[in-house]
Each structure stands twice: as C-alpha cells, then as structure tokens.
Amino acid sequence: MKNNEQIIHEIHTYCLNKAGVYESRPFGAFPLCYRIIRKIYAQFYPQSHFYKLTLKCRPEQGDIYRRLFPASVTRGYHCPPIQQPYWNTIDLGNFSDKELLLQMIDETYEAAAEGLTRKEKALLASLAEFTFKETDGEDPDFALLCHYLDEDLDQLVGAGNRSIYNQYNKRDGIRDAIVVYCQGKPVACGSFKMYDEEHVELKRMFTLLPYRRLGLGGEVVRRLEAKAKIRGYKFCILETGIPLEAACIMYQKAGYKIIPNYGQYADMPNSVCMERKI
C-alpha cells in the first residue's frame, strides 16, 4: 500500500469517523492514536520510514490474520507480551488489500467497544447521535452557545455578581474550540486558551439543557485535553463557581483536582479552580 497523502488521509479519516472516536497523541508526534472514551483502539504510524498501523483485536481474529499474512501482520509492535495477542501491527508497505484493511479497522473498533463497561457502552450509544466540530472562537455557532451560557449564568448567580468575570470570558484569542451538533443543531461547546507554556485554561464549557446528563461535557473535555496535549501542553486548568455544583462534579469525575485559586481568580471567594495533568 503506497505511502502518500491520499492513502494516509483515507486511513486517518476512516479510523476517526466512527462513533465516539477522537484523535490523541499521548506518546509524542507519533503514533496518531484513536480513542473511544479514553481507550485507544488504533495507532497509526504514517512516517515514510515507519509505515504501520497497530490495531486492537480479538485474539482469535488476530491469530488468523497473522497466519494469513505472516510477512505483513505481526503481534502488536511495542506492546508488552501480555497484551500482544490482543494487538496486531500491519506493515502497510507490505500490505496491499485496502478493503481488508478497512475491515480490520471495523473489527478492531467493535472489539474495543465490546471491552467498554456497561456505563461506557451507554455513553458510546448516546455519542453516536452527535457530531463534533473543531473550530475557533469566531465560529458563529460557538458564539451562539456562549450567549446561551451567559444567559444561564446570569439567571443562576445574577448579572451583577458576574460582571467582574466578563473580562476573562471573551472569545477573542480562542483558537481551539469544539462545537457539538445534534441533527445539525449546535447543542454543546467548549474551548481552551493558552495560560502559560505548560498550561491551557478550559473556557466556555456549555451544554443546552435538554442535552445534559448525556456525557457531552465529559466528552468535550476529553477531546480538548487530547488537542491540548497534541499542542505540547502538560496541564489543563479551569475556573468554575461554587454555585455551579454540577460542573464541579463533572470536572472531578474527569480527574480534575481543586487547587488554590490562580491568577486573576486569586481573590475571588466564589471561584473554584481545578487542574489535571494531561
């Protein structure tokens, strides 16, 4: 299979365009990893000198492919021995059947989905109804959702009590945002801004009321974290408010820990600041 931009794009897009899947790069520039609710199901190495795809598989399926294609399919590259029966690495330079490769990707996605917990499977089924768009702070749908967020916060804590925060919630400077759609309608969003060389700050996290408690907030956080790590950052920080109990719980479930109020929030008693290493 040729190593060119078209083939690489096809493999990347096919791995990515499945329900609940997003890209991350936890090990550096390569491999490109594709995750379902934090769990990696495929690892793609598109380099000219190392052109391989590692896929999670059922042990019996993995063994069949290794027997059929001994020159191009081997046990998982870089996987410890205990994991190797569950992962196959395909040497794409020596593998020519693209349709079979796509079938292998389908099978590995199904195998990874089978390994999810009951709660995670329910979340995955829910996420299948939504699409996620990467954009920036100038996106009109992102701006609309931010408007709804501000209306909600004004009702919850009062516009007067929030006025001091307005200067920190502007959309200018937001280069990384995600908008979630259901049947073409924008229903949730989130973003981050650079805080310093190691930290990004999560901003403008919001879900419309009818779509809450479906796991969208946590999924947006996961995707933003993965994107921030690709950018080279090591930590995500955020500020939320004491009255926003549901938000605090959601962030804690996502692995965030309360830290001393930082920067502009240091002297704001109603603020809660949190951090997570990514």
134 shares a domain with 104: no
Cα–Cα distance, 4 to 36 (Å, whole number)? 27
Cα–Cα distance, 162 to 181 (Å, whole number)? 28
Residue 236: CATH number of its domain:
3.40.630.30
**Model confidence band, residue 167 (pLDDT cutoffs 50, 70, 90):** low
237 shares a domain with 134: yes
Q: What is the pLDDT of residues 124-163, one digit of tens each?
A: 999 999 999 999 999 999 999 999 999 998 887 765 556 6
* Mean residue pLDDT across the chain: 91
246 shares a domain with 145: yes
26 shares a domain with 54: yes
Q: What is the pLDDT of residues 55-66, one digit of tens each?
A: 999 989 999 999
DSSP three-state, residue 65: helix
177 shares a domain with 106: no
198 shares a domain with 152: yes
246 shares a domain with 221: yes
184 shares a domain with 142: yes
Cα–Cα distance, 12 to 5 (Å, whole number)? 10
Residues in CB range of 179: below 8 A, 6 or more apart: 132, 133, 135, 139, 141, 142, 145, 186, 188, 189
Q: What is the pLDDT of residues 207-245, one digit of tens each?
A: 999 999 999 999 999 999 999 999 999 999 999 987 788
pTM: 0.85
> Containing domain of residue 180, as a range?
130-277
Cα–Cα distance, 51 to 38 (Å, whole number)? 24
